[in-house]
Chain A
């Protein structure tokens, strides 16, 4: 397990923001705040991040309230449904006909719809440039050809590096070279931090190639994985595939 690193300065700033200080410590912190720009900068970083997290909480609650609306409206509709069941039945029939006549999902359309943008890794701003920094610089500037070449060179030295394998897949995928991307994703080791992302992306590549069975196998593994966001997307996509 990774060593937990604590930064006492940030820890103290977090406690200040979350009102978890006694009066004396608070006063001392505020004095320091008045004098030290770095403390003020830390405070802004902590406040922004916590505020962002809370906003995500509000967004999530809003969704839950909308689903509560759907439940409440459904309950209210029961009476109306009994009253107007002929009209409702006609609407359902027409709706069904419309649905039947509508263009259906295709594996490729689903793959595009469920695609997740890969932002790339942060580029460190140290004095000794690293290969991965150069790769990420090229990737972030959408220079996929350079990123691909650098990845290829780096992989010659370190062919089992999971980061290189994963980003090779990402670059290939963005260049629409789906079989090559899928092969690179498949080589990302199961224990890697990229494993689930690679499986998910591999599944989308398989869909682009119309190989839905292979996509299903990968998506089921992602759905059972520990990445809550990817797991939810994979489950959703599996349901859509069942309706193809």
Chain B
């Protein structure tokens, strides 16, 4: 079956980009008033907040959200600022306006930063070796965060089940390529 390899019309990333554009400036104003931080610091903190929300969504954790997306993003953004200012020993300047909202650590347990980076790099290299439609199905699902219906539509496949099967095959191929390299490295 030939696939058309069209880009997804509206990817999940578009949604997060729109969220970011909608709430960034209000967050920056709020952060500057409360904590007297520079623009750049506030931008970075809010970017991290959107990334945390994205990771939570891709791990199926959005259902646990017990507040509005805006409140959640502000709470995570505030925690990011708090962490940065702790590093700079400025924690006295901070107040806890969003107590009670649980913000998970976005890191993956059991893998340190360096190992994660090395694995991501290895996966990036092997991904480039896959056939274009195998690579595309994995990009649409894992890198762009689309659901199976959107993947099927973007690739011109009959339905989500066909797309899911294709994703499984492509992922198996990628795993075996990554494994070969890891075995050689041992």
Please indicate the chain B residues that have their CB under 8 angstroms from the CB of A72 in the complex.
21, 24-25
- Tell which of A47-55, A84-92, A98-106 binds the partner: A47-55
Q: Which of A62, A65, A193 has the most CB of B within 10 A?
A: A65
Please indicate the chain A residues that have their CB under 8 angstroms from the CB of B143 in the complex.
53, 56-57, 60
Is B125 a contact partner of A6 (Cβ separation < 8 A)?
A: no
Is the C-beta of A69 less than 8 angstroms from some C-beta in chain B?
yes
Interface SS of A by simple majority = helix
Is B175 a contact partner of A64 (Cβ separation < 8 A)?
A: no
Is the C-beta of B103 less than 8 angstroms from some C-beta in chain A?
no
Please indicate the chain B residues that have their CB under 8 angstroms from the CB of A119 in the complex.
125
Shortest CB–CB separation between residue A73 and chain B, in angstroms? 9
Is the C-beta of B85 less than 8 angstroms from some C-beta in chain A?
no
Is B51 a contact partner of A62 (Cβ separation < 8 A)?
A: yes
In the assembled complex, the Cα of A7 lies from the Cα of B43 at a distance in Å of 45
Shortest CB–CB separation between residue B177 and chain A, in angstroms? 7
In the assembled complex, the Cα of A54 lies from the Cα of B47 at a distance in Å of 17
Is B21 a contact partner of A122 (Cβ separation < 8 A)?
A: no
Is B17 a contact partner of A227 (Cβ separation < 8 A)?
A: no
In the assembled complex, the Cα of A123 lies from the Cα of B183 at a distance in Å of 10
Of A19, A49, A54, which one neighbours B178 at CB under 8 angstroms? A49
Q: What would 28 A/B residue contacts be, using CB atoms closer than 8 Å?
A: A4-B165, A10-B172, A10-B175, A45-B175, A45-B179, A48-B111, A48-B119, A49-B119, A49-B175, A52-B116, A52-B119, A52-B123, A53-B174, A54-B55, A55-B123, A56-B120, A56-B124, A56-B143, A57-B58, A57-B142, A57-B143, A58-B51, A59-B120, A60-B13, A68-B17, A123-B184, A193-B131, A229-B128
Given contacts A123-B184, A125-B183, 16 further A-B contacts (CB under 8 A): A10-B172, A19-B60, A49-B178, A50-B142, A52-B178, A55-B120, A56-B142, A60-B13, A65-B47, A68-B17, A69-B47, A119-B125, A122-B180, A122-B181, A226-B132, A228-B132
